[in-house]
Each structure stands twice: as C-alpha cells, then as structure tokens.
Structure 1
C-alpha cells in the first residue's frame, strides 16, 4: 500500500489533501501505520461516544509532536479512509498538560458546497457547535487522564500559514 503520510499536502494553491483515518460515526480511533501500510486501532472511545466528523491528517506535514497535522473534516457525507481535497480550513489551539497542541485540530469543510458546509471559518460556527467540539475532544482524552485547555479558535489565514510552515 502507498505510504499515505508521503502524499502531497497541497492539491493546488487553495486546497489541501487529507487522509481520513477515522470516519464520522466511528466509536474507536483509527491511525494509519506507515510501516505496515494499514489502518490500525489506536483506541476505543468511551461507551456512547462517536466521532462527529471525519478525522485524519494532512499528509507530508510534521507537527511539533512529530506526527502529521490532525484534520477534522466537516462535510455532508462521511468519507471512507481515502484522500480528498479540502478547500476551507481553520484551526483551534489546545493545551494538554502544559504542552500546546497546535495540531488539534485543523477544521475543513470539504466536498460540494451545501448549506451545511458553507462555513469557511470555524469561528463562524455557532458557539454551541464549537463548545460541542471542545467537549468531544475532552471526552476522547478522559480515559487517558489527559486534561485539555482550549486556547482559542483561529481562522483560515493562520491555518494556511501553519500548514505551509509544517509541510515537509
């Protein structure tokens, strides 16, 4: 299998590629293992908790922790574990036990433009939707005794600069 971490980060000047590891609705986190070329179980989520959106990474990037940048894809349809161009992105910053986790997550609206994914900037999501995302991230870390502190939400310009800076 192709090493999906080595695919290009950018499809063109405005669109990034994303590899979906964990599809929306999944009750466990999957991760791509480049050595084996497969998607493997990373961790189960708490009972009743499922991913609200597709989750994966931006290939050919390297975040401060050594992993590719995470990406959350907000789209009408769940994607399978594949790559896709994503045309809108923003980012949040969170702190995990004193360590800034700037990679968590990049937010993308992807696919055909519809009423649901016309939001180009995560800061334009209703506050309850951002709160729900923050609660989801806290809940996914609860079983690992990790405490998250959110440091804010940033728009597409900062996300684009971050992706370009961390692209290999």
Structure 2
C-alpha cells in the first residue's frame, strides 16, 4: 500500500482522512511523508526540547498556503503510529504564519464511529483550555532554535474556518492537477 493512494476522505470537509506523521508526545523529531515515494522520512531533529502535544499529520490530496498538504493536529487518548490513516472531523484551526507564509493547523478528533468518547467535542471551545494553551505554546516556540525560522500564532478559529481551509486545500490540489 502506498500513502499516495489515500484520498482526502469520505465526506470532505465533514469526514476527512489524516495521515499521521508524528505521534503525540514523541521525541523531538520531525517526520514527513515523501510525496514521491510515500515513505516516511526524518525531516529534521528539532533543536528545542519539546514534544508534539497532539498527533500530527496531513490531509492527502490537499495543498495549503505553504504548498504542502493541509496540516492537522489529531487529539486522541493515545499516540498514533506514523503512517496510519485516521478518519477525522474538524473542531477548529490555529491560524499561523511562518517564514514560508500561511501555516495553519487544523484541530481535529477521530470521527465518532472510531472514537465515541470525544462526541462532546464539537468546536475549539469544547477542548480543555490547558490543551489549547499547550498546543499554542508548542507552535509559538518549536522553531525558536532554528536559524532563520520563525512563527507567528494568530489565534484559534472555529470549525467553519477549519472546513474552509480543508475545502480550499482540496480546490488548490485539483487546480494544480496533482
């Protein structure tokens, strides 16, 4: 199986696939799926002694503002292994820019069929405030020790904004004929 064959989802933007690249609480190593081969590569060892606060991945067959697939943070009670695909629904989006431009992060949970204990989470405001602050703090500082890199966190927006990001990513992918 190639991760290149995974589609964006069953009912985009309400039910979408996320390919996990980095498990939550993993060591500070950034993994990325190679677009050509579908293999998971080590992108870099992060200079900061920080762990990703959520599972981190992307929606296949999307292109975000930075030219990469739409980034997604997936809240789960356990870490997901790199390369696994999980069906998700959006709670909101953390709007950000970095040295390369727009770099928003969609916040999601697995669909209710997969993880019913999170059915009460419908929007960003339903997530524990500490969790949201940890996510924001991570992204404000995870590039601090990398020369020439920076991040500006602009704040949280709700599920409608997240769905707009997803649909724009699908449209960008389709328009590029990728």
**Partner Cα distance (1:97, 1:58) in 2:** 22
RMSD of equivalent CA atoms: 2.2
In structure 2, stretches of 5+ residues that fail to align are: none
> Structure 1 residues 5 and 92 mapped into 2: Cα distance closer, same or farther (>3 Å)?
farther
Cα deviation for residue 83 of structure 1 reads 0.8
Number of positions where the alignment pairs a residue of Structure 1 with one of Structure 2: 164
SS of corresponding position for 1:163: helix
1:114 paired to 2:117: yes
Task: Give the match for residue 51 of structure 1.
Answer: 52
1:155 to 151, 154, 158: 158
Show CA shifts across 1:86-130 (max 9, x none).
0233111112259332xx211111141226x73221233343322
TM-score for the superposition, normalised by structure 2: 0.81
Task: Give the match for residue 61 of structure 2.
Answer: 60
Q: Is residue 47–residue 146 contact of structure 2 (8 Å, CA) maintained in 1?
A: no
Moved over 4 A (4+): none
Q: Is residue 16–residue 87 contact of structure 2 (8 Å, CA) maintained in 1?
A: yes
* Larger RCO: 1 or 2 (CA < 8 Å, sep 6+): 2
In structure 1, stretches of 5+ residues that fail to align are: none
